[in-house]
C-alpha cells in the first residue's frame, strides 16, 4: 500500500485524476444497483436483464474504431470534460423510466451513459503512459484498478441501502450530482502533455493501426489475452442469482449490493497481497486461480452466505489479472499508437464482456442452470492460461 501512497504524493496530475476517478466510478456503480432493481421490480425476463448488462459494454465496442484516432488528436482534458457532460445528462434522465413501455428509453440512456464512460476510461488509460513510465506505470494501473474496485464496493453497498430506504430515483439524482462534482474537479486542473501532430486523416490512422498490429503480432496477442478478463462480467448473473435464490428472504437491492460489494472487497485486497509477487511467468497461475475461484462460486451459489465468501475470492484475482495484462500491452507497443491500440484493446475486452452478458441470459432462457453457466465462465480462464503459456513461448515480452 505504501507504493500507491508514495506515487500519489509524487504525481500531482495522477492524484487529481484518481480523485475524479473515485467520484465518477462511484457514481457509475451507484446507479447500477438502481437500474437492476428497477428491472426486477418490473418483472422482466432473463433476456432483458442480460440485454441491459450487454449494453453496458456494447457502446464501447461500437465506438472503439473511432475513439482511438480521436484520442490521439484531441487534448485529453477537453475530451474528458465533454464525456462527463454526456454522463450527467444521461444519468439525470434515468428518472423518466417508470414502466415497461419506457424500456426503450432505458436502453438508450444506458447505452449513452456507458459509451461516455468507456470513452473516458480509454482516454485516461492512453494518458497514463504519457505522464508515467516504468514501475510507476505498473503501480498506476494497479492503483486505477484498486480505485475502480473501491468505487465498485462503496457504490454497490451504499446504493443498495439508498435504493431500499430512499428509492430508485433518489439514487439516480445522487449519481448525477457526483458526476457534476467530478466535472468541476477536472475543469480546474491542468494536464500538460505534448499532443503529437497527426497528419493522417482518421481513416488512414485506422488503416495504419491494422498494419502496425499485423507487423507486431505480440500486441494483438496481448490485446486478446486481456479480453479474457471480460469473462468476469457478472452483472446479469448476479441479478439472476438474486431472483432465483435469495429474493425470498433478502430485499433485492440489498442482495445485489452485498454480492457485488463482497466481490469488490476481493478486488481491492487482491493486488495488495499479490501485486509485488506477480511477474510475466507467474501470470499464468493467476489465470488458473481465477478459473478455480469461479468454479467454487458455482458450487456454493445456492447458499447466500457462502456465495458472498466465494464472490470475494473471485474478486481477489481479478484486479491483478486486469492491471498486469493491461500494463503488459502498454509496455509492448509504440508511444505513437497508445490511443488507438488502447481503444482497440478496450473494444476486444468490452466485446468479451458483452458476449458474456448476452450468453448468460441466452443460456438461462434455454434452461441451463446458473451453476453450469458459471462453470463455463470459469473454464474460459483455464483456456486463457493455456493461451498465455503459448504467448510466452512464441513472443519476447518486456518484463513489467
* pLDDT mean for each 10 residues of the chain (400 residues): 81 88 78 87 89 84 74 82 94 94 94 87 80 77 76 73 86 91 91 63 71 86 94 90 91 86 85 87 96 97 96 92 88 76 83 91 92 97 96 85
Question: So what's the pLDDT on residue 92?
Answer: 95
Question: So what's the pLDDT on residue 59?
Answer: 76
Nearest by Cα to 71 from 242, 196, 223: 196
How many other CB atoms sit within 10 Å of the CB of residue 34? 25
Please report the DSSP string for 33-45 in residue order: HHHHHHHHHTT--
Question: So what's the pLDDT on residue 364?
Answer: 93
B/e letters for 252-266, b = 16+ CB within 10 Å, e = fewer, are bbbbbbbbbbbbbbb
Q: Which residues contact 211 (CB under 8 A, 6 or more apart)?
A: none
DSSP H helical segments within 72-133, as ranges?
A: 76-93, 103-131
How many other CB atoms sit within 10 Å of the CB of residue 75? 12
Question: So what's the pLDDT on residue 201?
Answer: 62
Question: So what's the pLDDT on residue 189?
Answer: 87
Question: So what's the pLDDT on residue 197?
Answer: 58
Q: Which residue has the cell 493486488?
A: 271
What pTM was computed for the model?
0.77
| Dist CA 352 CA 358 (whole Å) | 10
CA distances from 93 to 101, 112, 138, 262, 323 (A): 16, 11, 37, 29, 33
- Mapped onto helix, strand or coil, the DSSP state of residue 132 is coil
Question: So what's the pLDDT on residue 296?
Answer: 98
Reading the block at residue 63, the C-alpha cell is: 465506438
Question: So what's the pLDDT on residue 104?
Answer: 95
Amino acid at each position: 500500500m505504501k507504493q500507491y501512497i508514495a506515487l500519489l504524493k509524487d504525481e500531482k496530475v495522477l492524484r487529481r485524476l484518481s480523485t475524479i476517478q473515485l467520484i465518477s466510478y462511484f457514481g457509475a456503480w451507484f446507479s447500477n444497483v438502481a437500474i437492476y432493481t428497477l428491472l426486477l421490480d418490473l418483472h422482466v425476463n432473463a433476456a432483458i436483464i442480460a440485454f441491459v448488462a450487454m449494453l453496458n459494454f456494447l457502446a464501447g465496442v461500437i465506438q472503439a474504431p473511432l475513439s482511438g484516432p480521436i484520442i490521439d488528436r484531441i487534448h485529453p482534458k477537453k475530451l474528458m470534460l465533454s464525456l462527463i457532460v454526456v454522463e450527467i445528462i444521461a444519468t439525470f434522465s434515468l428518472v423518466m423510466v417508470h414502466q415497461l413501455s419506457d424500456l426503450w428509453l432505458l436502453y438508450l440512456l444506458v447505452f449513452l451513459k456507458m459509451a461516455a464512460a468507456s470513452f473516458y476510461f480509454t482516454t485516461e488509460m492512453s494518458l497514463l503512459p504519457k505522464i508515467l513510465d516504468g514501475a510507476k506505470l505498473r503501480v498506476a494501473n494497479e492503483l486505477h484498478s484498486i480505485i475502480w474496485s473501491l468505487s465498485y464496493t462503496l457504490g454497490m453497498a451504499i446504493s443498495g441501502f439508498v435504493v431500499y430506504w430512499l428509492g430508485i430515483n433518489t439514487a439516480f439524482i445522487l449519481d448525477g450530482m457526483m458526476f457534476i462534482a467530478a466535472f468541476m474537479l477536472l475543469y480546474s486542473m491542468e494536464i500538460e502533455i505534448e499532443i503529437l501532430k497527426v497528419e493522417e486523416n482518421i481513416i488512414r490512422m485506422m488503416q495504419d493501426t491494422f498494419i502496425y498490429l499485423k507487423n507486431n503480432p505480440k500486441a494483438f496477442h496481448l490485446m486478446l489475452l486481456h479480453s479474457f478478463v471480460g469473462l468476469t462480467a457478472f452483472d446479469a448473473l448476479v441479478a439472476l442469482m438474486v431472483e432465483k435464490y435469495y429474493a425470498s428472504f433478502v430485499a433485492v437491492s440489498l442482495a445485489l449490493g452485498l454480492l457485488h460489494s463482497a466481490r469488490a472487497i476481493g478486488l481491492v485486497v487482491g493486488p495488495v497481497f499479490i501485486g509485488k509477487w506477480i511477474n510475466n511467468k507467474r501470470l499464468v497461475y493467476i489465470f488458473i486461480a481465477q478459473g478455480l475461484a469461479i468454479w467454487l462460486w458455482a458450487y456454493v451459489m445456492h447458499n447466500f452466505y457462502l456465495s458472498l465468501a466465494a464472490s470475494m475470492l473471485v474478486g481477489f484475482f481479478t484486479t491483478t489479472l486486469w492491471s498486469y495484462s493491461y500494463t503488459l500491452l502498454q509496455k509492448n507497443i509504440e508511444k505513437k499508437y497508445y490511443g488507438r491500440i488502447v481503444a482497440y484493446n478496450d473494444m476486444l475486452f468490452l466485446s468479451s464482456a458483452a458476449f458474456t452478458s448476452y450468453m448468460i441470459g441466452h443460456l438461462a432462457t434455454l434452461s441451463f442452470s446458473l451453476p453450469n453457466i458459471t462453470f463455463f465462465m470459469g473454464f474460459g480462464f483455464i483456456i486463457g492460461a493455456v493461451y498465455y503459456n503459448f504467448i510466452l513461448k512464441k513472443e519476447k515480452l518486456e518484463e513489467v
